[in-house]
Chain A
């Protein structure tokens, strides 16, 4: 019981710090409801055609977040608009 309470307090404290950070990190990609979204495997296919190896497609707020490798082995973290599949932002790591 005590353990859970301490955990809860820690979580609340961390959330108070982390939430503003996360709100900043995840942009908003669309205002359309999920019914109008592309399937995540459609997003994968579209990017695979461009030569990416797709490792994971994750829903992050109202965006798709795609983890992919390109042909030269660089790691890409792409934020994709789930309605039209367009790239919103991208981070590339060597």
Chain B
């Protein structure tokens, strides 16, 4: 085989999966939420700005879930309860198949995170209204949502590492370059 053919083979074995918006969104929401969490004790202007930034990012991601590229659209990765259960059982049995886009567990995690981030932002905003100023209940809810996001992030990282190991690929790298092995 000529050198040129070999190069074409190599190039065609990787394919763009995560578009630029998805990648920029992923890392910005991670950094912005992390910074908001770290500034929570202060609860001042910086914390508020970070919280609104997270809400704006989530709103953009939801819109992108309808108009974005193939693997960014909800219709192509949000699993029903049955598909999610089947996949989870397959993971536990160590026989789950590889997905080029989000696997059903990853898809469910995205929905969980979008919902929890929205709930965290919304309850945070409520705490700045006269009606809920100083409200202990809303504050507790806000903290519970933020901690739930943190727990989900930990599970998400475990899932990414597990899938990377199981299918011999670097999924963290894929979220940076947007490209994945095509097989």
Contact = CB atoms under 8 A, between A and B. Distances in A.
Contacts of B44: 25, 91
A1 interface: no
A25 B45 CA distance: 13
B38 A17 contact: yes
A13 to B, nearest CB: 9
A24 B43 CA distance: 12
B150 A10 contact: yes
Contacts of B134: 55-56, 58, 67-68
Given A18-B41, A73-B130, A7 B135 contact: no
Contact of B154 (A7, A18, A91): A7
Interface in A12-46: 14, 17-18, 21-22, 24-25
Contact of B41 (A2, A22, A56): A22
A47 interface: no
A29 to B, nearest CB: 17
Given A18-B41, A22-B41, A93-B128, A10 B133 contact: no
Contacts of B37: 14, 18
A7 B155 contact: no
B136 interface: yes
Given A6-B154, A14-B37, A21 B130 contact: no
A56 B134 CA distance: 6
Give the top 3 A-B pairs by smallest Cβ distance, nearest first.
Answer: A67-B134, A56-B134, A22-B41
Interface of B: 37-44, 128, 130, 133-136, 150-151, 153-155, 157-158
Interface of A: 2-3, 6-7, 10, 14, 17-18, 21-22, 24-25, 55-56, 58, 67-69, 73, 75, 91, 93
